Structure 1
Amino acid sequence: MSDLWQNAMDHAVAIARKSGELVREALRDDRKVMTKSSSIDLVTKTDQKVEQLIIQSVREKFPSHRFIGEESVAAGETCDLTDTPTWIIDPIDGTTNFVHAFPFVAVSIGFYVNKQSEFAVVFSCLEDKMFTARRGGGAFCNGEPLQVSDQEDVRQSIIATEFGSNRDVEAVDKIFSSLRNILCLPVQGVRSAGTAAINMCLVASGCVEAYYEIGVHVWDVAAASLIVSEAGGVLMDVDGGAVDLMSRRIIAANNRTIAENLVKEIESFSPTRDDTPPPQVNHY
């Protein structure tokens, strides 16, 4: 069975690289923008083309496998993670970055069996960085091993976060209250790459000590979660409990000490209806 998953992982790396080529071509030729839930929740034809490319390619090779894709769910497909081998796809993580040619855009592919991550691929298209992880086999960037930072003092840490597409006043107030609390610990800096997957890969790379966000979707974090774990990091809910990738809340940190420092400062909130996946989502 492990050979089968290695074959699937090799295919994921190849199709992520091919998708990256499509993204780079589109940056030169076609960045036509549409919106989903609001004027700041963007989607492009390239998002849809990349997801179709990945799904069609995988279906040809692994016809019994299932999919959770950002654009498929937006079009009405169920967001249902079962025990069946499932590919969780974000065709362009960082669509707003893509639209503005801001240089952090990722293709994210996570593969789950029995609701457990088996391998992960995050391709930072414009940086030409291929992040990969295999359960129990470590995490890598362009073939070089990754290891989280060994920093345990939050005051000597860089923290990454994002602001999402929720512009509800109460949610924005809590986002900035959390940011103020964390800045005043104090931390050495706060960064935002504009993509959850790349932020989490930065944690895995040891460049930042932690990333947190409320409002992410499972396709944003399904792949990068394994990359963080295999690089020696920890995953946690913003309230301090075990992470649930369907809950839309996450802390990814280099160690539990840093994560627990953030838990004390983050003010949680529930996403607005427009920022929530369809009601058929199943938690696990």
Structure 2
Amino acid sequence: MADIWQDAMDHAVAIARRAGDVVREALLDDRMVMTKTSSVDLVTQTDQKVEKLIMQSVKDKFPTHRLIGEESVAAGEACDLSDAPTWIIDPIDGTTNFVHAFPFVAVSIGFSVNKQIEFGVVYSCLEDKMFTARRGKGAFCNGNVLQVSDQEDIRQSIIATEFGSSREPEAVNNIFSSLRSILCIPVHGVRTAGSAAINMCLVASGCVEAYYEIGIHVWDVAAASLIVSEAGGVLMDVDGGSVDLMSRRIVAANSRAIAERITEEIRSFSPPRDDAPPQH
């Protein structure tokens, strides 16, 4: 059977590469910074420029497809994932990294049909690493097959996480409570790349055994979730149930055993869902 979404995936790879060029050029001269929800929730003109570039190219080529973009949602558009073909776009995952020229900055493009991710593209621009996955066809980095780590002992593992953009004491206490518990299992180490998409691609690559976070958004993880699962990994909610990409909670791991062990240590909480109606 012909792969009816291959044309869309090829377009996603091409436009991610073009977006990466814009990001690299902007690093040289254009990192004007604004803030969104707090002084540490950053957005740049480049985020907005890249999102506009990707969205316009999709509208031109696939006019019937729907779009969810980080900056569009920030500007007030609904984050509504329907059964229709939908592009889920994070123009710069790792904006704070970008602002500081910290070298992990990704363009993330997920594509969903019937609320199921059909392909994912994550382009780590500064490393020039193109991570791709097509449902049922494996995961790749620059054309090389990805495979998760076969480490089953969490004490021999590296775990990735992020600290999020909230500096509210309660949120910070929750984050550090989980971090302390996981570190004291003990694990070999905890790492933070500053980009959810790249952390998940590191799981897919076998470099780290797991990544967990509460507070991410669907555009951070949509593409990379498929890359993890197609590389042989598992996705789970932080309470151990099935992952819900709108819930803003995720554990991505090389195996169910490692994922379940991590969920035992996480102090879980529930941020407002991505698909929640806006508060007036």
Normalising by structure 2, report the TM-score: 0.97
For residue 53 of structure 2, what is the aligned residue in structure 1?
53
CA distance in 2, matches of 1:112, 1:136: 14
Q: CA deviation at 1:279?
A: 3.6
Q: Quote how far apart the aligned CAs of 1:150 are.
A: 0.2
Partner of residue 96, structure 1: 96
Report what 1:249 is aligned to.
Answer: 249
2:84 counterpart of 1:87: no
Q: Gaps (5+ residues) in structure 2?
A: none
Aligned to 2:269: 269
Q: Indicate the SS of the match to 1:260.
A: helix
Q: 2:277 aligns with which of 267, 280, 284?
A: 280
Percent identity over the alignment is 80
Q: Which runs of 5+ in 1 are unaligned?
A: none
Q: Secondary structure at the match of 1:22?
A: helix
- Residue number in structure 2 paired with 1:187: 187
Any idea what SS the aligned residue of 1:34 has?
strand
- 1:115-138: CA deviations, max 9, x gaps? 011101000000000000000000
Q: Which residue of 2 aligns with 1:27?
A: 27
Q: Does 1:228 align with 2:207?
A: no
Q: Aligned ranges for residues 190-229 of structure 1 at < 5 Å?
A: 190-229=190-229
Aligned partner of 2:36: which letter? K
Specify the code of the residue in structure 2 equivalent to 1:170.
Answer: E
Does the 8 Å contact 1:146/1:205 carry over to 2?
A: yes
Shift in CA distance, 234/277, structure 1 to aligned 2, threshold 3 Å: closer
Q: Which residue of 2 aligns with 1:16?
A: 16
C-alpha distance 134-277 of structure 1, shift in aligned 2 (>3 A) = closer
1:197 aligned partner, one-letter code: A
Displacement of 1:3: 3.6
Q: Specify the alignment match of 1:70 in structure 2.
A: 70
The residue number in structure 1 matching 2:112 is 112
Query: Is the CA contact 1:203–1:211 (under 8 Å) kept in the aligned structure 2?
Result: yes
Instruction: State the one-letter code of the partner of 1:242.
Output: S
2:93·2:196 contact (CA, 8 Å) conserved in 1?
A: yes
Conserved in 2, the CA contact under 8 Å of 1:73 and 1:278? no
How does the TM-score come out when normalised to structure 1?
A: 0.96
Q: Contact 2:146–2:204 at 8 Å: present in 1 too?
A: yes
Q: Distance in 2 between matches of 1:269 and 1:234?
A: 21
Which secondary structure state, in structure 2, belongs to the residue aligned with residue 250 of structure 1?
strand
Structure 2 distance, partners of 1:52, 1:260, is 39
Instruction: Identify the residue that residue 169 of structure 1 maps to in structure 2.
Output: 169
Given that 1:66 and 1:84 are in contact with CA atoms closer than 8 Å, whether structure 2 keeps it comes out as: yes
Q: Distance in 2 between matches of 1:70 and 1:126?
A: 21
Quote how far apart the aligned CAs of 1:277 are. Answer: 4.6
Where 1:16 maps in the other structure, the secondary structure is: helix
Q: Deviations over 1:149-207 (max 9, x none)?
A: 00000000000000000111111111101100001000000000000000000000000
The alpha-carbon deviation at position 278 of structure 1 amounts to 7.2
User: What is the deviation of 1:2?
Assistant: 4.7
Q: State the alpha-carbon separation in 1 of the partners of residues 247 and 63 from structure 2.
A: 29
Deviations 1:96-122 (A, max 9, x none): 000000000000000000001110100
Tell me how far apart the structure 2 counterparts of residues 235 and 279 of structure 1 sit (CA, whole Å): 22
Q: Secondary structure at the match of 2:5?
A: helix
Number of residue equivalences: 278
The secondary structure found in structure 2 opposite 1:81 is coil
Deviations 1:27-62 (A, max 9, x none): 001000000011000000000000000000011110
Aligned CA-pair RMSD? 1.2
Contact 2:248 2:274 in 1 (8 A): no
What is the deviation of 1:270? Answer: 3.0
- Give distance in 2, aligned partners of 1:2 and 1:18: 27
